[in-house]
Every structure is written in C-alpha cells, then in structure tokens.
Amino acid sequence: MAIIKSLRWKESFRQNPVYQKFAAERLRALKAALRAEVHGETSEHSLRLATWNIMHFGDGGGYDRTPESMLYIAEIIDAFDLVAVQEVNRDLSKFQELLEDHLGNEWDYLVTDTTGGKASDHGPGNNERLAFLYRRSKVQFCKETGEIVLPDGQEIVAPGATAGTGSKVQFARTPFSVSFRCSWLRFKLCTVHIFFGEGAAGLAQRKDEIEKLAQFLADRQQDEGDAMVRQAKARKWTRPEDARWDSNYILLGDFNIISPEHETMKALEAAGFVAATKTNPSNLDGTKHYDQIAVKSAHPGFKVVKSGVFDMLKHVYRDEDAAFYVDTVKPPIMAIDSKKQPRPRDKQIAYFADTYRKNQMSDHKLLWCELRVDYAEAYLDDIIKAATP
C-alpha cells in the first residue's frame, strides 16, 4: 500500500487547504481507477508486470516532480508487483524519495549506472539509468544481473556507417537483465530504452538495436536451456527436458516501436519473441506503440492472461483541471516563460496541457500485463496421470 501521509505534512498542501482537498480527491479517483482497471481485472495469484518510461525522472528543473505528482506516481507503481522504469536520471534522490517516502519497505529495487551522453545535447545515452522496482512479498530477486554487451561481430551499425568500415557500436543505452522468481515461474527480465535517432539512418540503428538484442537473448535462452538439460541428464532426472522450463525470457521497455505492422515490431518478433502488448499504444495521444512487453517462454504453463495500458491523465492532471492549476496551485514554472516573461493566462492553460503535466507525470503511459505463475494444479494432474494405470 502506497504511503500517502505527505498529503498532510508537505508544506505545499498545508499552506493551501483547497489544493490539499483537490489532491486528495484526485488520489481517490486514481485509486478507484487502478482497482477497477488492474486489480479488478486480474488475480492476486498472478504476476502484475509493468513497464513505464517516467520522463526524465530526477532530472530537476522543469522536470522536478512536486509532492503531488510523487503521490500519483507511487500509487500507480504500487498497483503492480514488478515494474521496469526507464529514464531514471543520474541523480537518484527523487528515485530514493519515491521508495523511502512513498512505497516503503514493502518494495525493493535494482538500478543500473548511467549510460554516457549529455542530456543538454540529447546524446545517445542521455545520462539515463534503467531500474526495476519489485514487491518483496511477491517477487524474489535471484541474485543474477547483467548489462548486455554484444560479442565482436554482432555490434550495431552506427548511423551513416557503410558495410565494412568498422563503424559499429554497442547499444546507446545498455540493456539491463535480471533474474527473478514469482511463485512457480523463474524468468530473466531484460529492460531497454532503444535508440530513437533521426531520419533514415537513425531508424536503421533503432531497428538494428531491437533485432540484435532480441536475437542475442534468443540465442542465450537456447544455450541456457541446453545446459540445464545436460545437467539434468548428468543427475539422472527422469524427465531431463523439463529442466529447460526455467529458461523463460521477457523483454520489455521503451523500444520506440512505431506500430504493430512496422519494421521495428518485426525486428522484435524475428527472434521468436511474442509481443504481449502489441495492440496497446503507449504514447499520450494513442498513435505509437513505443513501449512493449515481449515474451519467449519455455515453461508449458506460461501464459499472458491479460494486458493493458493505464492512461493516468484520465484521472490526474486532466484537461478540465488546467484552470485550477493556473488559478489556485500557481506553479511558478507555469507563470513565467523561458525568457523570464509573464505568461498570459491562455498561454498558461496551453502550457499545462502541452508541457507541465507531461513533466510531472510522463509522456508515456504505463503498459502492463498479467502473467500466470501458479502451476500447481497442472503439476498435480501430471503426477496423477503418470500414476494412473
């Protein structure tokens, strides 16, 4: 359960009771929506897995989250059991605040170091981190992590490079793979923020990153499964092929995929990954399928039960709330433009819709799926069947 007591003691709320009441009402509405759309549609015995690009999280300046938005972000994350987060900034203070003040000790996390690049010039890595947040009571970290580095000869062709020039690179932002267990299901979870790029060359690199990563993980799954079977045979298991069942791979995050029919999606699927969220657009206007959860399972009981996208701006920072923020909340960043000049009221309304609420929440919706993780009945049925004359 997310911790919401800051709604009483944070200065911005205490000094403005009207704003405090408004935030409490919006938080109640958000809770109700998450109950209806997520918990009301899924089983407590399943794994609720999500991915969310939280735009420039911890980047400060115009992206500095207010106490209000931190409440909302925590409430959304707390509706799930395991969440991959992209665009965590070098400065982890906001991320740690999210854990310590809003999610509490029921949650734990893993986070990468930063990938190189200057945020000011939108360098390829943009000084970003990738992270996993997981609920301790539901998800077990299996003590295995790794950042994906492609072997020699399998690197990505850089924009503008020609065949044979040697102009090849690793990922703009290094993918992050972690081993988890939830109930009966053990799996490798790899999160990404794929290169976006500009023009034909940028798109080519984007596609190549997706394709090379998916094939790398597919090959690793095969090798890993084969090794498990060899070990099982050496131990004289009755059914050694069953050892392969623990080699399940889930690839998720911000792929910058354009549409289900686009070559970027085909690049993801070419290695055998199945997009569990293929039909769920994740940008705010519902036109792009940037974020995806794709699976390549080995366990026969593995199943994606349901998938969805959570549109937070239907419940908080809504279109109809613009006037309230301009007239009552009065964030300084809305009142003054980049040239330090006062913004007229109509421009403030437009700034709220186009910029402020994205910077407080994100320009991506959260994408999620429900995974079956309890295989007990099938296990018992198999034993009964085998023993039946």
Tell me the pLDDT of the chain averaged across its residues: 93
User: What pLDDT is stored for residue 120 in this prediction?
Assistant: 43
Q: Which long-range contacts (C-beta less than 8 Å, at least 24 apart) are formed by 144-147?
A: 144/178, 144/179, 145/110, 145/176, 145/177, 145/178, 145/179, 146/176, 146/177, 146/178, 147/112, 147/174, 147/175, 147/176, 147/177
Report, as an integer, the average pLDDT of 26-54. Answer: 97
Cβ count near 374 (within 10 Å)? 16
pTM of the model: 0.94
- The β-bridge relationship of strands 128-135 and 107-111 is antiparallel
Cα end-to-end span (Å), the chain:
50
User: What pLDDT is stored for residue 126 in this prediction?
Assistant: 76
| DSSP secondary structure letters along 207-276 | HHHHHHHHHHHHHHHHHHHHHHHHHHHHTT-SSGGGGGGG--EEEEEE-----TTSHHHHHHHTTT-EET
Report, as an integer, the average pLDDT of 39-67. Answer: 95
Task: Decide: 157 and 167 in contact? Cβ < 8 Å.
Answer: yes
- Tell me 387's DSSP state: H
Alpha-carbon distance of 386 to 5, in angstroms, equals: 55
- Tell me 89's DSSP state: E
Cα 382 versus chain centre, distance: 36
Q: What fold characterizes domain 6-311+361-387?
A: Deoxyribonuclease I; Chain A (3.60.10)
The token duo for 286 is: 């519902």
Give per-residue pLDDT as tens, 179-232: 999 999 999 999 999 999 878 888 999 999 999 999 999 999 999 999 999 999
Q: Is the pLDDT of residue 125 over 70?
A: no
Q: Is the pLDDT of residue 165 over 80?
A: no
Report, as an integer, the average pLDDT of 157-172. Answer: 67
CATH 3.60.10.10 maps onto the chain at 6-311+361-387
Alpha-carbon distance of 213 to 269, in angstroms, equals: 11
Q: Is 124 helix (H, G, I), strand (E, B) or coil?
A: coil
Give per-residue pLDDT as tens, 254-272: 999 999 999 999 999 999 9
Task: Decide: 76 and 310 in contact? Cβ < 8 Å.
Answer: yes
Q: Is the pLDDT of residue 156 over 80?
A: yes
User: What pLDDT is stored for residue 160 in this prediction?
Assistant: 54
Residues with Cβ within 8 Å of residue 360, at least 6 apart in sequence: 65, 66, 68, 69, 317
Q: Is the pLDDT of residue 123 over 80?
A: no
Alpha-carbon distance of 374 to 369, in angstroms, equals: 16
Q: How confident is the model at residue 117 (pLDDT cuts 50, 70, 90)?
A: low
β-bridge partners, 372: 46
Helix intervals (H) in the chain: 6-9, 11-14, 17-37, 67-77, 93-97, 199-234, 263-269, 322-324, 332-335, 345-351, 357-360, 376-387
Report, as an integer, the average pLDDT of 169-184. Answer: 94
Alpha-carbon distance of 295 to 222, in angstroms, equals: 14
Cα dist. 360→67, 81, 162, 227 in Å? Answer: 10, 23, 41, 47
Q: Which residue has the higher pLDDT, 121 or 109?
A: 109
Give per-residue pLDDT as tens, 320-375: 999 999 999 999 999 999 899 999 999 999 999 999 999 999 999 999 999 999 99
Give per-residue pLDDT as tens, 83-116: 999 999 999 999 999 999 999 999 999 999 987 7
Task: Decide: 312 and 319 in contact? Cβ < 8 Å.
Answer: no
